[in-house]
Structure 1
Amino acid sequence: MTMIRSSRVLVTAVVLGLLTVGTPARATPPGANGRIAYKGYLDAARTTGAIFTVRPGGDGVRQLTRPGPGVVDDQPDWSPDGSLVAFRRCAPDEACAIFTVRSDGSGVRRLSPPCVPGRPCADESEVAFLPDGRRVVFTRSSGAVREFPDGSNWIENSDIVIRDLTGGNARVVLRTAPFSSDNVEVVASPDGRRIAFQRANSPLAEPAGGIAVFVIGADGRHLRRVTPWSLQAGDHPDWSPDGRWLLFRSHVDRDFLDSQLYVVRPDGRDLRQVTHVSPDTMLLSSSFSPDGRSIVYARTGAAGQPDIFTASADGTHVRQVTRTPLWESAPDWGPR
């Protein structure tokens, strides 16, 4: 089987006075706080990873997926009603694909179309639910890989796509110029009208090597950059449940070091730093809680490996949730 995989992998206290809790992700589903989903590696070499959930207090750990050796299940995203978790699955020498699993670990189901022997197979990943719970948005990478003089390799097409849970009715939201960028880590707003994502520029784009958070309408219109290029921002931005803020990590190009969490308005206003960790602390992706009052993220914990932590939305009252010697990251806080 021929597979296509994105060749560039992005290894990816100020009180928020204007951050209010909405009542009416990945937009975090609004409501009461439930379990936290995350990726946990099963071995120290980080060759195999599964999806887990845990209560915010750190008890009740539950393993949802049981991948084979060398397979990594990653980037979980809760459905709005908390009944499903969407995730990506990547295996050696195969294209990544998107799946769902029930909250009790049953019913693992592939949403990506099957790969046909002898044909290039698109890589589908970075999946997140839309607020109707019947559709998902994801990144689809396909085409040739081009090597540039600086030694970097870039995939020809990095599209943002919406598809329903039957696997049909696919619609491309964003298609950029060939070899120009990776458009990844997508998440729909709580009202479903906008999509936030991380864009990384190839040497063909301006500025070359730039990384930033963008927002685009779900209809493919009104593309807008919302973070300054200088922040090199992204790593699975998350909408607050009221849709007024985006939470993201800075300097995603620095292997998880010298990074901080920030929030910004979806129009780029009111940029604010949330965390103040030391430069040698590994800091990874994050998510709002369903009630909007807290955040969850991964950072250096037990044995020098990332664990899951929670904090107030302003970055204070930090609490460690998991404590294991193995790497745990990519948390998404689900509804009760």
Structure 2
Amino acid sequence: MIRTLQPGQRREVWIASVTGERELVYAADDVLLEAPNWTLDGTALVLNGDGKLWTFDVESRKVAQVPLTGIPDLNNDHVLAPDGTGIFLSGNDGHIYRAELDGGAARMITVDDGSFHFLHGVSPDGRELAYVGIEAGDFTQPGRLMTVPVSGGATTPLNVDGHCDGPEYSPDGEWLYFNTEAFTDQPGHAQLARIPAPDGNSSGGAPEQLMESETVDWFPHLSPDGQLASYIRFPGGTVGHPADLPVDVVLVPAGDWTTPLQTRHLFGGQGTLNVNSWSPDSTRFAYVAYPLATTDTTKD
């Protein structure tokens, strides 16, 4: 399903610095843009909207559609290939694709195995993808952490109980960071965790909880240098990662997730921080807010 803005709602693309500053770089009330990635050369953001892929040039502040073919409408799960030229995409048909960032024909990676595949991570060596598999696209079923070679083929399940989402490789490729309900009996109470990445001989070890909180925490993203991390925090009691809620985008040291360095309050949720949005030099990260006419995102 393609998301659209509500009447009186706009989308705001923000860039925040690790030193504390932030800038509203793009705001409009037409296409609902989501989930910014940062290109490898540091000049642009890549977002999805209206089922398409878009680039936003940071200097000129211009948006352009990426001309892709052979692919269905897209959702907001997209990850840039480590080489900086390719991009991996999740289609609304439940499959993962690869395409070139400058456009052209896309290639399907996953096969019809009875599951929907929601992409979140690519290994630093560019060989493996981490995704969430949901059986038959039935969202009442828990999401399972899975990996698959970028060339397609056999998938590997990871040993985590409870619903999981957002698996993303650490910069050194040793870990997968994700959110999970494995540590609680409370429905929807996602917490941040990590698990050793599978190495071809194993399916990972036991998950390690990064912190314990009363909030619902999703989508941990490590900076490219591995020193910092961002994630999105939903109010306690939230089930899933819905749109249009007061949420926090939180910056923490990667070695201590319990000590926030920055907390950005905004109206958003789904689409705000679904994928890794760190700049390649680890100094900035992007996110999207979706304020209504009655909300204000100019202040933290």
1:172 aligned onto 2:115? no
Distance, in Å, in 1 between the alignment partners of 2:138 and 2:53 is 29
Residue identity in the other structure for 1:237: P
2:190 to 243, 259, 279: 259
1:39-59 CA distance string (max 9 Å, x none): xxx99x895333321102331
Give unmatched runs, 5+ long, in structure 1.
10-41, 91-95, 116-120, 142-156
Conserved? CA contact 2:123–2:129, under 8 Å: yes
**Aligned residue in 2 for 1:210:** 142
After superposition, where does 1:284-295 map in structure 2 within 5 Å?
Answer: 284-295=218-229
1:278-308 CA distance string (max 9 Å, x none): 1xx132222001211221111158xx82121
**Aligned residue in 2 for 1:152:** none
2:63 to 88, 105, 108: 108
Deviation (angstroms), 1:203: 7.5
Conserved? CA contact 2:191–2:216, under 8 Å: no
1:275 to 192, 211, 219: 211
**Aligned residue in 2 for 1:124:** 74
Distance, in Å, in 2 between the alignment partners of 1:272 and 1:202 is 28
Give unmatched runs, 5+ long, in structure 2.
199-203, 236-244, 282-300
Residue identity in the other structure for 2:124: P
Distance, in Å, in 2 between the alignment partners of 1:333 and 1:256 is 30
1:68 aligned onto 2:2? no
**Aligned residue in 1 for 2:174:** 244
TM-score, normalisation: structure 1: 0.67
Deviation (angstroms), 1:259: 1.2
1:160 aligned onto 2:96? yes
Residue identity in the other structure for 2:47: F
Deviation (angstroms), 1:123: 1.2
Identity, % of aligned positions: 20
Conserved? CA contact 1:48–1:67, under 8 Å: yes
Conserved? CA contact 2:69–2:104, under 8 Å: no
Distance, in Å, in 1 between the alignment partners of 2:14 and 2:107 is 30
1:241-277 CA distance string (max 9 Å, x none): 111111111139x999511111112212242110211
Deviation (angstroms), 1:333: 2.1
Conserved? CA contact 2:146–2:157, under 8 Å: yes
Distance, in Å, in 2 between the alignment partners of 1:191 and 1:130 is 9
Distance, in Å, in 2 between the alignment partners of 1:273 and 1:261 is 6
**Aligned residue in 2 for 1:334:** 279
Conserved? CA contact 2:37–2:79, under 8 Å: yes
Cα distance change of structure 1 residues 333 and 183 upon mapping to structure 2, 3 Å threshold:
same
Distance, in Å, in 2 between the alignment partners of 1:196 and 1:105 is 33
Tell which has more relative contact order, 1 or 2 (C-alpha 8 A, sep 6+): 1
Cα distance change of structure 1 residues 105 and 186 upon mapping to structure 2, 3 Å threshold:
farther
Deviation (angstroms), 1:124: 1.3
Cα distance change of structure 1 residues 276 and 203 upon mapping to structure 2, 3 Å threshold:
same
After superposition, where does 1:1-336 map in structure 2 within 5 Å?
Answer: 5=1, 47-63=9-25, 65-69=26-30, 71-90=31-50, 96-104=51-59, 106-113=61-68, 122-125=72-75, 126-141=77-92, 157-177=93-113, 180-202=114-136, 209-228=141-160, 230-234=161-165, 236-251=166-181, 257-267=188-198, 268-278=204-214, 281-300=215-234, 305-316=246-257, 318-327=259-268, 329-330=272-273, 332-336=277-281
Distance, in Å, in 2 between the alignment partners of 1:282 and 1:316 is 14
Cα distance change of structure 1 residues 334 and 163 upon mapping to structure 2, 3 Å threshold:
same
Distance, in Å, in 2 between the alignment partners of 1:139 and 1:112 is 16
Cα distance change of structure 1 residues 139 and 313 upon mapping to structure 2, 3 Å threshold:
same
Conserved? CA contact 1:286–1:296, under 8 Å: yes
Cα distance change of structure 1 residues 223 and 269 upon mapping to structure 2, 3 Å threshold:
same
Conserved? CA contact 2:144–2:157, under 8 Å: yes
SS where residue 220 of structure 2 aligns? Answer: strand
Distance, in Å, in 2 between the alignment partners of 1:202 and 1:124 is 18
SS where residue 59 of structure 2 aligns? Answer: coil
Residue identity in the other structure for 1:214: M
Cα distance change of structure 1 residues 276 and 105 upon mapping to structure 2, 3 Å threshold:
farther
Cα distance change of structure 1 residues 46 and 138 upon mapping to structure 2, 3 Å threshold:
farther
